[in-house]
Chain A
Amino acid sequence: MHREFRIRALVKFLFWAVATTVVVAYAINTYRSGQMVRWYYYESKADGYAVNATSFQQATRESPVALIIGDFPDVSGLRAVRVTKGSRLPEGTNGVIDLATVKKADRVRIEDGRLVVAVPWEIKEAKGFKFRDGFTHKNIRTNPFSGLWNLVMVGLVGLCLGFLAEGFTDVIGLKFRKIDHSVGH
């Protein structure tokens, strides 16, 4: 009986260990190959300029940063690509500055055919906590499939980790009894 239990526990543990490894390795590979990022920065939600907002974080009103506007395959560095609503985003994009913001010419303006950024972020508040809110993630639409992918993956990871832990405690000989829920008054 004892030996039979141990063998079953070991099989259970090994099965879930393999399943966990496969699921986590697949998730990491999806991330490292850039697929996860491409799903995330998928298409533009507004007419505007696709940018890499990280590249001009240091800009200020006193020393603004100018981005070259052009039809580039990627927007790494100080580049901006004109996009329309629904169009696929170039590689390296992490935000879209919409035309309304550019027309306002307060934070961003067009100057000599270049996109000049003067206020790259503002302080905002969520749940009573302040944070820097820049152009990153603005006006971008994720691939709807990635929402489903996230949900399925988090479910799989949760299940695998849960049963892996249960298998582990079984292997080391800790079999938890079901609790007797008797109530006293």
Chain B
Amino acid sequence: MFEFLIAGVQAPWVLLVFTGFTVGIVGGFIGVGGGYMVTPALIVFGFPGYMASGIDMTHIAGKGIVSTVRHRQLGNVDWILALSMVAGTMFGVEEGIRLLGYFKRLGLSTAALLGASVLLMGTLFVYTLRETLRSHRRLTEMAKQGRALAREVSTSSLPRVFQGLPLAPLVRCRVARVIVSMWVIVLVGVVTGVLAGFLGVGGGFIRVPALVYIVGASTHIAVGTDLVEIVFSGAYGCLRHSIEGNVDFVAVLFMLSGAMFGAQFGSIATAFVRGPAIRYMLAFSLALATLGAGLPLVNLLMGGKLEWLTALSVIITLGQMVFLCLFILSLVYFAYRANRGRWVPDWAAPLLVHHVTTGP
């Protein structure tokens, strides 16, 4: 146990390091901040709710930088796309917070928040999973035909619709290999920002699918670019929370020390897989997050008679960190085996990439 003088609590520092590590793996791999998992974990460790949010947001800013540095090395960051979105995202986050305030004044904040979370994440989960399953099948067919497999396979026709909008100015994103109207990028930033501000999350959950299915970036670039956004929104959140007195910097340091290893592993792991593997992971985390918000909603609609559903949602929210990490670890392990010519499951083989590193 460590006594956090600013937070005014005694909490197990090992668990903070472990939380930073696991959320770092997931965040580096699917490009999310992981706030929906960390805040509840910190509350369970004994931190008050407002402190948990502040510590979480500050650690997300630092972890975002660690992941971005590695994704930059892997060529997964499109700076033009990222910087074009920043202003829209910030504006959207502020509007989302105001929208939440409006619902609070109406006395509907909890129901509106949980309802919106379930609806949005549930829809994204269904769309992402269906599209990823189609892409996975396409990869399997290509492998059977002996064709060279691309790093990314996408079967969604939505990006073509948005890229075809003739609204000036058009932006050429060289790394993402996309030419798209600036208005589409700004709109993606604003809409995902509003949702992030309203739901009280970093927004990676929503922005990564939006970058893939609306802008048309590959999944790897969506992850790397989204992490740049997370650095900006995390930095803004860090400043706001710090001034409000919601941050214990020592707790942030403990989490960052774990996140350093986790975020590295998660970021590097993207080099071993094709786009659909990352989207699978995104879909699973969306499913678990939908469940995590859906169970308390059912309890709320039943007039609070099913308290055990809320307890179950806590277990699911905390358990998903471990589940997602194990899944990512298994993919890297399979890639390692495939690289050495050993057996890997049929479903995994088309999702993996060999020979990703090189010597000097």
**Residues of A bordering B, CB below 8 Å:** 1-2, 5-6, 9, 24, 27-28, 31, 36-37, 40, 53-54, 94, 124-129, 131-133, 136-137, 140-142, 144, 146-148, 150-151, 153-155, 157-159, 161-166, 169, 173-185
CB pair A184 B61 closer than 8 Å: no
Which chain A residues border B47 with CB–CB below 8 Å? 131
B358 touches A177 (CB 8 A): yes
Binding site for A on B (CB under 8 A): 5-6, 8, 39-40, 43-44, 47-53, 58-59, 61-70, 73-76, 110, 114, 138, 142, 149-155, 175-177, 200, 218, 220-221, 231, 235, 238-239, 242-245, 247, 249-250, 252-253, 256, 260-261, 264, 268, 270-271, 296, 310, 313-314, 356-360
Shortest distance from the beta carbon of B244 to any chain A beta carbon, whole Å: 8
Q: Are A2 and B245 in contact (CB under 8 A)?
A: no
Q: B74, A40: Cβ atoms under 8 Å? A: no
Q: Report the minimal beta-carbon distance from A138 to chain B, rounded to whole angstroms.
A: 10
- Contact yes or no, A158 B256, CB < 8 A: yes
**Beta-carbon contact of B58 and A150 below 8 Å:** yes
Min Cβ gap B200→A in Å is: 7
A and B contact pairs by CB, cutoff 8 A, 29 listed: A24-B253, A126-B49, A127-B200, A128-B296, A129-B40, A133-B48, A136-B8, A137-B51, A140-B245, A146-B242, A147-B242, A148-B242, A150-B242, A154-B58, A154-B61, A154-B238, A155-B65, A158-B65, A159-B69, A165-B70, A173-B360, A175-B357, A176-B268, A176-B357, A179-B270, A181-B221, A183-B150, A183-B154, A185-B153
Contact A151 B75 (CB under 8 A): no
The 7 lowest CB-CB distance pairs between A and B, nearest first, are A126-B49, A158-B65, A162-B69, A5-B360, A178-B75, A184-B150, A147-B242
- List B contacts of A146 (CB < 8 A): 242
**Contact: B66 with A158, CB < 8 Å?**
yes
Q: CA separation between A147 and B177, bound complex, in Å?
A: 39
Residue contact A150 to B238, C-beta cutoff 8 Å: yes
Question: Could you say which residues of chain B place their CB within 8 Å of the CB of A159?
Answer: 65, 69
Please give, as numbers and ranges, the residues of chain A lying within 8 Å of B53 by CB-CB distance.
126-127
Task: From known contacts A131-B48, A150-B238, A178-B75, infer whether A155 and B245 are also in contact, taking CB-CB under 8 Å.
Answer: no
Q: Are A179 and B220 in contact (CB under 8 A)?
A: yes
| A86 vs B108: C-alpha distance when bound (angstroms) | 35
Report which residue of B51, B63, B68, B253 has the largest number of chain A beta carbons within 10 angstroms of its beta carbon.
Answer: B253
Residues A176 and B48 in contact in the complex (CB < 8 Å), given A144-B243, A181-B152, A184-B138: no
**Which B residues lie within 8 Å of A24 (CB)?**
253
CA distance A178 to B74 in the complex (A): 4
Would you give the shortest CB distance from A37 to chain B, in whole angstroms? Answer: 5
Q: Which of A36, A94, A136, A158 has the most CB of B within 10 A?
A: A158
Is there an interface contact between A129 and B218, defined as CB atoms closer than 8 Å? no
Q: Given B51, B66, B151, B360, which contacts A181 in the complex, CB threshold below 8 Å?
A: B151
* Assembly CA distance A154 to B261 (angstroms): 16
